[in-house]
Structure 1
Amino acid sequence: MGNDELNENPLDEYAARASQQLSGQSAEVSHSSVERVESGQVSLRDSFAQHVQAAAIYMEDAAAGVLKAGSLEAKDAAIGAAFAESVQATTLHTGVLAGKTVEGREIRTGLLFAVNVRGDVYSALSPVAGLAIGAGFAVGYFLTRLAWTMAKRRLSPIE
């Protein structure tokens, strides 16, 4: 994936339309810390916001607690939990990332829920991995109980 592909965001037009539908509201947060930001378009630069909700969000060298967006574009960002229709990022770290389309370079997340994933996206736990872990625990539990029952039968005194 080339550098040019990440710099050209196909969601800019979508974000502009969504912003117009929300009366053209936009908010820019720069070099500060805020509790809550809600707007049509939000730009976070060198800032922290506890809760961000917008149709389109651009983050650069920023952090957020909980983020809900139609589209998210991020560069060097950290987010506790991000829920977005589309995510395009360069160096993004999240605890939970949920989106229809996730694309980027060096996206690291603890838990990933996504339909389409492109680029360098790393997840500690995905729904498929969670299902596999759960199935492994279930099989292990079943085999342990079976072995325990068989051992009890063999060691019990015969009457």
Structure 2
Amino acid sequence: MKFANGQATVYNRNVEQPLTTEGVMRSSRVEVSFNPVYQKLVWHKVTVKRGAKEMNRLSSSAITLLQREQSLDQEIVDGYVTAMLVIDDTRKGDVIDYSYSIEGRNPIYGQHAFFNTFMGWTIPLLNSTDVLFLITVVIFNISSINLMINPLFRKKMGSLSINGR
């Protein structure tokens, strides 16, 4: 997360190697939610590596924008859309690597920044690591909600690493 002058950019990169049919189905469909009123989604890279061959799978035709109002039954409209990317021709053992950024944030938060990460998965996972790079000295609080694992937090000069092995 890059935060300066009230603006934020959150960069995400996922590298997955599904080893089961269920894993392939989950890994080949990526969903990213954002609010186009004050945010912009930027795709950087979508590749599938099979053996020594790396194939580019970033294509605008593979991305569908869905308007989903999750709280419509409570008469709440939030304006978020979901970009759904379907990565074709993925197989067991392929390495799927994708990255994107969400630029902008809700102006209601002013100079306050926050970051959250999800470390709970419904399929077996070898390792999960999140890194938060800190450009300036900040005070932050860490809290865990409904976490069945004990994550390892590492503070280094300018970064906080969270490993949820």
With normalisation by structure 2, the TM-score equals: 0.26
Structure with greater contact order relative to length (CA < 8 Å, sep ≥ 6):
2
Larger-Rg structure: 1
